[in-house]
Amino acid sequence: MTGDADPARLGACDAHEHLAIAGAFVEARWPDYLLDEPARLVGDLRDFRTAGGGWLVDAMPTGAGRSVRRLVELSAETGVSIVAATGVHLPIYYPDEHPLLRMGAAGLTEVFVREIEAGVDDGDGLVCDRRGRPVRAGVIKVAGDRPKLSAFQR
């Protein structure tokens, strides 16, 4: 969440984590999935840092409860670099009317490229770090839950 990082300073990586999951749909349909205890997460991230961890990938993608603003705060408070994801989760994590579920490859590509190049917007405007710089996604997630990709996942 602090821009490009010096690889020599990163330390160990947790390549698939979920630090912040929020939103009305998640709260209504998946209340046990809410991750809304920032103080506890700060403690866990500080322990991770003390053990040699330097960065992690938050694998919650676009529109499925991702909270990049919270990731910015967690990174700033703990010194752990956090990579935000763009992409899509399984359809069950979106309301039926969610636009991502109706976009074709071209529309999804536009969203992913915009979030990587220009910055992420979790529905309430472009997210910026504490220095006022737009936070850009660093990975693209496509979730799968079967031996073969569904038409949506393809």
Q: Which string of DSSP letters, residue by residue, matches 109-137?
A: HHHHHHHHHT--B-SSSB-B-TTSPBP--
133-149 tens-digit pLDDT? 999 999 999 888 878 87
52-97 tens-digit pLDDT? 999 999 999 998 989 999 999 999 999 999 999 999 998 888 999 9
The band of 2, judged by pLDDT with boundaries at 50, 70 and 90, is low
- Residue 68 or 26, more confident: 68
Q: Are 110 and 116 in contact (CB under 8 A)?
A: no
Measure the CA–CA gap between 94 and 87, rounded to whole angstroms: 13
Q: Are 139 and 83 in contact (CB under 8 A)?
A: yes
Measure the CA–CA gap between 101 and 92, rounded to whole angstroms: 10
Let me know how long the chain is: 154
Residue 15 has pLDDT above 90, yes or no: yes
Q: What is the pLDDT of residue 82?
A: 95
* Pairing, β 12-17 against β 81-88: unpaired
